[in-house]
Amino acid sequence: MAENGEEKLLAVARHIAKTLGHNESMADDILQIFSTFDGRFSREKLSEDHQPGDDGSSGVASLERALNSLDSQISRFIASDQPIWSDPADSAAFLDSIDELVNLTRDWSHASSEKPIGTLLSRADDMMQQAMFRVEEEFRSLMDHGAESFPVNHRFDSEEEEDEEEEEEVDYDDTTQIPVAQPLTDYDLIIDALSSATINDLHEMAKRMLAAGFGKACSHVYSASRREFLEESVSRLGLQKQLSIEDVHKMQWQELEDEIDRWIKAANVALRILFPSERRLCDRVFFGFSSAADLSFMEVCRGSTIQLLNFADAVAIGSRSPERLFKVLDVFETMRDLMPEFESVFSDQFCLVLRNEAVTIWKRLGEAVRGIFMELENLIRRDPAKAAVPGGGLHPITRYVMNYLRAACRSRQTLEQVFEESNGVPSKDSTLLTVQMSWIMELLESNLEVKSKVYKDPALSYVFLMNNGRYIVQKVRDGELGVLLGEDWIRKHNAKVKQYHVSYQRSSWNKMVGLLKVDSAAAGMNGLGKAMKEKLKEFNTQFEEVCKAHSTWVVFDEQMREELRISLAKLLLPPYGNFIGRFQNLGDIGKNADRYIKYGVEDIEARVNELFKGTTTARK
């Protein structure tokens, strides 16, 4: 029934047009008036000869009348000075006209080889091109100005820049302002940069442009607008624009450290918020056209992504100086943690290159970390053994390397990952990181052994090795480094320190203790007294010299210093007490013993307790 009613309605409209229209032009004008009231009253629908299957001049005339009608409708919108999408009725009518032109061209395309039809279809193509130019213009306008009435609610600028940025925004005019995201409070969010109504309008335009073969133009306009927004947002995070790899390598280290901090913030905001938001917007605007959405998204994000990746790459291929390890690790960890975002956001075929480049640079950062440890090895090897540390104290290379390794091991899990990705083969009971740390410790110990040879006094060289060995063990035991090297390593090196202690005693004090031994069978009373006087005199001289020298030596660890004093007291006091007691009991000689005994047992103990305090220089 409805179809019969519509046919009757169309018949009445055709009859009115024929009756009132004295010529073809007047009839077209009347039909144009009808079409403004109801889309069913278009010229091609009201034509009695409109079927594309008709042959001869009637078919050509029907197509021509339909094109004339659509040309009139479309031209009116194209010529308008006002934005078509400012009025929903106008935008709907314009899109309907485009749809009709698309359908008409498709319906007649089978007859395009016929010259009259082909000529008219060429005209239809020209009309479509003009219509698409206007759609593109409207699309661009909505992209550029749609966000102005729908500002986002987050800023990503640093807090100290907020006032400055607010002042700058006051100076923007309506044609230059670019909406930019606001301060970050949470990474778990998506920004809607455009209203749903604007997105729907853009989708309808994109659908027509893609259907008409203008997909690339649509994608270009979309990408240009959103790319500007995205790059400005990244710039507001403090990351310098157009920063080449050479520029990064020329930076002073402090400046580069600050830039790395800004890069980490920018990378997290970009990969976790900005890029996913752009992905969602692309998918909504180009809904139903996945290839166009993927291409547009890639074009939007490519510049900012390359900017982020180039900076990380510059850090990766830059100096391998050991002090850079910790910032390089920061960049490595950021790239590692963002890999899931790279995989999910850049999952399509157009973004494959960006995704692969991110993986490559991440691995290159791992190579940089391993290279820095190689440079640390070289630094230890090259450290000269020319000047001796005063008092046998702690060598700067020991302090530097051990504090460096302790700090590095705070990132033990990351370092484990870095070294496992190398081509090395771990031993049965050790990880590659453990092997690396053990090797560095071995290099350090070998270097210290060489440095100990600088001291002319063997006893002082053992004090030097004792000090540095004790420091190494302490630093290993109290942190993640001890977990890596293990208890067995710690026990072995504690034993080495004790051996240095024994060697120190043997080289300095054992000879002195030997003077306190008396062979009473080798001489009579007078001979024994004379020998003991000589021994005591020699002991006093040696004891004075040793105490004078060793009191300027330094033992930095209080516990070890006390252990040494106790050990020396046990070594000296019993034989010395026995010696002077026996000397005092040698008859007439013993009566004058005080003339020869310079130190009492308490004096010896007091002098021993004054050892290893060091000079001001040695204690530093």
Dump pLDDT digits (tens) for 403-445. Answer: 999 999 999 999 999 999 877 666 666 899 999 999 999 999 9
DSSP one-letter string for 563-620: HHHHHHHHHHHHHHHHHHHHHHTSHHHHHTGGGT----HHHHHHHHTTTTB--HHHH-
Beta bridge partners of 155: 182
Residues forming beta bridges with residue 613, ordered by sequence position: 554
At 388 the three-state DSSP class reads: coil
User: Taking Cα atoms as reference points, which of 253, 378, 268 lies closest to residue 327?
Assistant: 253
**Does one domain contain both 481 and 535?**
no
Of 448, 422, 450, give the one whose Cα is nearest residue 435: 422
What is the crossing angle of helices 275-285 and 325-345, to 10°?
20
The whole-angstrom separation of Cα 277 and Cα 265 is: 17
* Two tokens, residue 65: 């009348």
Q: Which residues, in sequence order, are CB contacts of 191 under 8 Å at separation 6+?
A: 152, 154, 181, 273, 274, 277
For tokens 């966000």, name the residue.
Answer: 147
Q: Write down the pLDDT at residue 49.
A: 41
The last residue of one of the domains, among 498, 518, 536, is 498
Helix (H) or strand (E) holding 252: none
Q: Whose CA is closest to 338, among 355, 318, 316, 313?
A: 355
Query: With the C-alpha atoms ordered 307, 312, 318, 323, is the resulting torsion angle positive or negative?
Result: positive
pLDDT in tens, 474-493: 999 988 999 999 999 999 99
Looking up tokens 């920063």 gives: 243
Say yes or no to pLDDT of 52 above 50: no
In a domain, 224, yes or no: yes
Q: How far apart (Å, rounded) are the C-alpha atoms in residues 522 and 542?
A: 24
Share of the chain above pLDDT 70, in %: 79
Binned at pLDDT 50, 70 and 90, residue 163 comes out as very low
379 and 322 Cβ atoms separated by less than 8 Å:
yes
Q: Fill in the DSSP letter of residue 183.
A: -
Kindly state the average pLDDT of the residues 43-58: 50
- Region 357-361 average pLDDT: 96
Q: Is residue 559 part of a domain?
A: yes
Q: What is the pLDDT of residues 67-90, one digit of tens each?
A: 888 888 888 888 888 889 988 999
Quick count: other Cβ atoms within 10 Å of Cβ 544?
Answer: 13
- Do 484 and 465 sit in the same domain of this protein? yes
563 with 484, same domain: the answer is: no
Q: Under a CB-based contact definition with an 8 Å cutoff, are residues 166 and 249 in contact? A: no
- Answer yes or no: is 145 within a domain: no
Smallest CA-to-CA distance from 90 within 26, 135, 31 is with 135
The pLDDT assigned to 393 comes to 93
Q: Is residue 293 in a domain?
A: yes
User: Cα-flanking dihedrals φ and ψ of residue 554, to 5°?
Assistant: -125, 135
Residue 515 identity: L
| Cβ within 8 Å of residue 416, ≥6 positions away | 431, 432, 433
- How far apart, in Å, are the Cα atoms of 39 and each of 19, 44, 65, 76, 107? 21, 11, 16, 16, 18
In-domain check, residue 122: no
Residues 364, 401 within the same domain: no
104 within domain boundaries: no
Q: How far apart are CA 83 and CA 142, in angstroms?
A: 10
- We report the CATH number of the domain holding residue 227 as 1.20.1280.170
DSSP string, 255-280: HHHHHHHHHHHHHHHIIIIIHHHHHH
Which one-letter amino acid corresponds to residue 301? C
Say yes or no: 452 and 484 in one domain.
yes
The pTM assigned to this predicted structure is 0.77
Query: Model confidence over 362-410: pLDDT tens digits?
Result: 999 999 999 999 999 999 999 988 888 999 999 999 999 999 999 999 9
Determine how many CB atoms are found less than 10 A away from the CB of residue 271: 26
pLDDT-above-90 percentage for the chain: 54
* pLDDT at residue 175 greater than cutoff 50: no
Say which residues have a Cβ less than 8 Å from residue 122's Cβ, sequence separation at least 6.
none
Please check whether residues 366 and 382 belong to one and the same domain. Answer: no
Tokens coding 225? 């607008």
Domain boundary among 467, 498, 529: 498
Nearest CA to 371 out of 320, 441, 411 is that of 320
Across 449-473, average pLDDT: 95
Q: How many whole angstroms separate alpha carbon 292 and alpha carbon 576?
A: 97
The pLDDT confidence band at residue 11, using thresholds 50, 70 and 90, is: low
Single residue among 377, 411, 439 that ends a domain in this structure: 377
Q: Residue 173 has what pLDDT?
A: 43
Q: What is the mean pLDDT of the chain?
A: 83
Asked if residue 281 is part of any domain, the answer here is yes
| 182 three-class SS | strand
According to the model, what pLDDT value does residue 241 have? 76
213 lies in the same domain as 251 = yes
What pLDDT score does 455 carry?
93
Q: Give the angle 354-357-363 at the CA atoms, nearest 5°.
A: 145
Examine the domain organization and report whether 368 and 405 are in the same domain. Answer: no
Contacts of 238 (CB under 8 A, 6+ apart): 157, 158, 161, 262, 265, 266
383 part of a folded domain: yes
> According to the model, what pLDDT value does residue 153 have?
46
Domain residue limits at 566: 507-610
Same domain as 432, residue 361 = no
Q: Are residues 371 and 512 in the same domain?
A: no
Q: Can you name the residues that pair with 182 across neighbouring β-strands? A: 155
CA dist 546 and 511 (Å) reads 11
Same domain, 313 and 355: yes
Tell me, yes or no, whether 373 and 397 share the same domain.
Answer: no
Q: Which long-range contacts (CB under 8 A, 24 or more apart) does 287-295 make?
A: 287/203, 288/207, 289/206, 289/207, 289/210, 289/215, 290/348, 292/206, 292/210, 292/215, 292/218, 292/219, 294/348, 294/349, 294/350, 294/351, 295/219, 295/350
Number of domains in the chain: 3
